Chain A
Amino acid sequence: MEFLTLDVILNSLGEVGSTVLYIFVGTVILEVVVYFLWRPLEVFSRLIGRMLSPLGNAIRHVISTLLLVGVLVFTVASVSVGVEQPPPPWAPYWPLAVVAFLVGAFVSPTAPKIFHWQMRLPYMLFAPALVGLLVLVIYPLLWELNVSFTNLNPRHFKSPDFVGLQNYIEVFTAPVLKQVTFFPVFLRTILWTVINIAFHVTGGMALALLLNRKLRLKGLYRTLLVFPWAIPQPVACLAWRGEFHFEYGFVNIMLQRLGLPAVQWMTSPTWNFAAMCITNIWLGIPFMMVILLGGLQSIAGEYYEAAEIDGASGWQQFWNVTIPLLQPILTPAIILGTVWTFTNFNVPFFINQNELETSDTLVTALFRSAFQYFNLGDAAAFAFVNFGILLVFAILYIRATGGLKGATE
């Protein structure tokens, strides 16, 4: 603690404070610019619209799309990867790209609608988020895409070479780490997800059913059961890792007291994977329990009364009343849980202290490939493959839950 002095704390607070201030001032300037620029843009878009009306909407759409796609390609190809990589020969023509972008935007027949003065407020509200997304998501993504076509690694650090699709081919043909190849890691990640979700749902359901009864000190039990959810994941993982220590961990001490042999949680591939699962099951049950408890409480008592009159047993009531009525809550919760577990980094990373490749999932393998072995080009391609897999998940999720219905209808 002696290194965390008042000076250090004040410095950090000062840095955070000034960053917040910069963001605030930047936002204000951005809003003012959008406010004053909107009117001229509207007038300009109408003028262009009137001038280009003889061309016909279809042609204008085509021109606009071509220009905008061209600008996008130009931008992707211009993001330089290495610190000292010479800019591409086309880089000095960026102002032309800006002009092409403006022309592309205004040629479109929808331009007058987009730049209508009534749209000023929505765009003002949207502008800070757009800038944030551009800087924090779009730019890094474009950079990453470029990296995936290069051999960026410590030997080619400041000016890497273009290698085409080689990195993408190697994701599937060469080990992604030292020994393990892509498909075993992928299958393990699926196994990891299935095991965890199965336990989350059954465990969460059992606890939710117990808590849904009349019970003394129900609030206390509920609080205690939700506790794992409230602890930051890395902290919980490190605590669990300590408990899996061969000599000093609680788990082995308890096993030995019960007369069982101590388990090599950190070195045995099977047991390390089991340790990961135990930790994540412990972490994930509370979420499922809370969601399902909410669902159970929304089921009206009349259904059960009616079932009882019909002579249904407890099991039949659960199977024919509870489960169907929980379905609308269960489906999104399971899909969300699946995505979270599939992409969980903390548990597989922290519990796998010895960096066993037999315990790596897609995300931890990606992390090791990039930041431990520094094969940044390979890792970027690997990241885009992972991105593709998660995109499929996300689409399935959105389809199954209708999550975007409200925004698109």
Chain B
Amino acid sequence: MKRSILTLVALATLIATILAGCCPSPATPEPTEPAAPEPVEIVLWTKEGEADGGLQFVQALADAYTAENPDVTFEIINKDVETLREDFLTAGLAGSMPDLLWTVNDHAGPFTDAELIMPVDDMFDLSKYVGSALAAAELGGQTWGVPISNGNHLMLIYNKDLVETPPANTDELIAMGQELTTGDQYGLVFNQTEPFWLVPWLGGFEGSVFAEDGKTPTLDTAAMVDTLQFLYDIKHTTPIIPAESDYDGADTLFKEGKAAMIINGDWSLGGYKEAMGDKLGVARIPMVSATEEWPRPYTSGVYFMLPEGLEGAKLEAVKGFVEFVTNEENQVKMISELNRLPALESALDAPIIAEDPILKGSADQMVVGTPMPTVSEMRCNWDGMKPEMQAVLADTKSPEDAAAAMQAAAEACITDLE
């Protein structure tokens, strides 16, 4: 009996302790200590891959920064663009985000919607960066990324062994492409799976993915139908492109000399220059003959984005690294190593840009580009366009039906967002 009473007392104490959890415990003041430099490790997610030297470039910058600041070390993780977006949202949900992102501007839309990144206006002197690069990271009157490079745009890249003068318009492109498409060689290749490669042509056919308000999808238009018809034609009616080609397939065909021309972005220039040397030529994507308009590839750039909640020594380290990467010396290094146009205004004067025909071609293409929308509705447009573009290319849907379907999908997606 004595034992039972003891047991009951023990249990009562247990319950009392649990109940005590109801009441807030008196707050104890945190002892304040003088800030000492503490070692920090920055987990950096980058969209730069190993194939075109981007990842190596990021790693070299991180190593150089660590050499100057031994307290700051880096863990650099490469994720392709879409995976980076998906994983960052998932990490946000789980509350385990990386410390710094090196990614493209349109991620700012979903990330700001989800309140996962913070504005950088008050942290950096943004006046030293190129205005158009900054504009592509602005949303709601605030800037959400520090630009690293300016561009990220598609252009026509050609093999000088096969193409003497690049085609000026689509009629020439098709005529030249048909001549060059023989056996296992193609006139033109590009990634046929992503609508990022459709958008320049849409611009050329005088279309746009959004109405003037910048967020109402305008995908079911005559311009989109014409664009899809054009893509269909260059695959089926006057074939100048492979029956199937994803990014890697197109890239390999071009590098192996089995494709005369490729439409690819500035990120690929470094790799092509290394693989092809003097044979490499860069020009604008040919003008659309029917409209006499230049295709308008999206321009943006690559940006640092800072996850929400970053503070203390880590924030300071991140800020230091961002300044380091975008200083003039490293921007010029990026121009020569990765062939990308700089985001730092003062680096634009670097003689290498005027002297290098590849960079000149890239800059010339950028002039007719259009800033890539940052709003999260753009995500709905991308997801809506992707399956329909593929269906037209696979000849399972007419351009008219595909345009209507992509509009419906984008609208449904935006309704879901609200």
Contact = CB atoms under 8 A, between A and B. Distances in A.
Contacts of B396: 268-269
A96 B11 CA distance: 15
B238 interface: no
A266 B246 contact: yes
Interface stretch (B157-165, B286-294, B352-360, B410-418): B410-418
Contact of B390 (A44, A102, A356, A373): A356
B246 A354 contact: yes
Given A95-B22, A179-B387, A375-B416, A353 B7 contact: no
Contacts of A372: 82, 86, 383
Contacts of A95: 18-19, 21-22
B15 interface: yes
A239 to B, nearest CB: 15
A267 B416 contact: no
B86 A267 contact: no
B412 to A, nearest CB: 7
Given A95-B18, A354-B193, A246 B114 contact: no
A264 B387 contact: no
B11 A40 contact: yes
A378 B415 CA distance: 13
B245 interface: yes
Contacts of A356: 387, 390
Nearest to A84: B115
A264 B19 contact: no
Given A44-B7, A247-B249, A354-B193, A155 B412 contact: no
Most A CB within 10 A of own CB, among B3, B7, B76: B7
Contacts of A375: 416
Contacts of B18: 95, 98-99
B128 to A, nearest CB: 31
A402 to B, nearest CB: 40
Contact of B244 (A153, A155, A178, A264): A264
A158 B387 contact: no
Contact of B376 (A155, A265, A266): A155
Contacts of B22: 92-93, 95
A69 B153 CA distance: 59
Interface string B93-117: 1010000000000000010011110
A375 B409 CA distance: 14
A264 B384 contact: no
B280 interface: no
B243 interface: yes
B211 interface: no
A262 B390 contact: no
A237 B409 CA distance: 30
Contacts of B222: none
B413 A174 contact: no
Given A3-B59, A175-B412, A357-B387, A246 B113 contact: no
A157 interface: yes
Nearest to A1: B50
B243 A264 contact: yes
A257 B11 CA distance: 81
A178 B387 contact: yes
Interface in B357-400: 376, 383-384, 386-387, 390, 393-394, 396
Interface residues of A, number: 47
Interface string B31-73: 0000000000000000000000001000100000000000000
A83 interface: yes
Given A40-B10, A95-B21, A269-B394, A374 B110 contact: yes
A94 B20 CA distance: 11
B253 A267 contact: no
B90 interface: yes
B417 A43 contact: no
A83 B92 contact: yes
Contacts of B11: 40, 44
A354 B386 CA distance: 9
B393 A267 contact: yes
Interface string A284-315: 00000000000000000000000000000000
A43 B390 contact: no
A371 interface: yes
Contacts of A355: 193, 386-387
B383 A373 contact: yes
Contacts of B192: 267
Contacts of A266: 244, 246
A153 B245 CA distance: 32
A174 B413 CA distance: 11
B28 interface: no
A157 B243 contact: no
Interface in A7-53: 39-40, 43-44, 47
A374 B3 CA distance: 57
A222 interface: no
13 contacts: A47-B8, A95-B18, A154-B114, A154-B376, A157-B116, A179-B405, A247-B253, A248-B249, A353-B246, A355-B387, A371-B86, A373-B383, A374-B110
Given A3-B55, A98-B18, A246-B245, 17 more contacts: A3-B76, A43-B7, A44-B4, A47-B4, A83-B93, A155-B418, A175-B412, A178-B387, A178-B409, A246-B249, A248-B249, A265-B244, A267-B393, A269-B396, A356-B387, A373-B383, A373-B413
Which 4 A-B residue pairs are closest in the complex by CB-CB distance? A246-B244, A157-B114, A40-B7, A178-B409
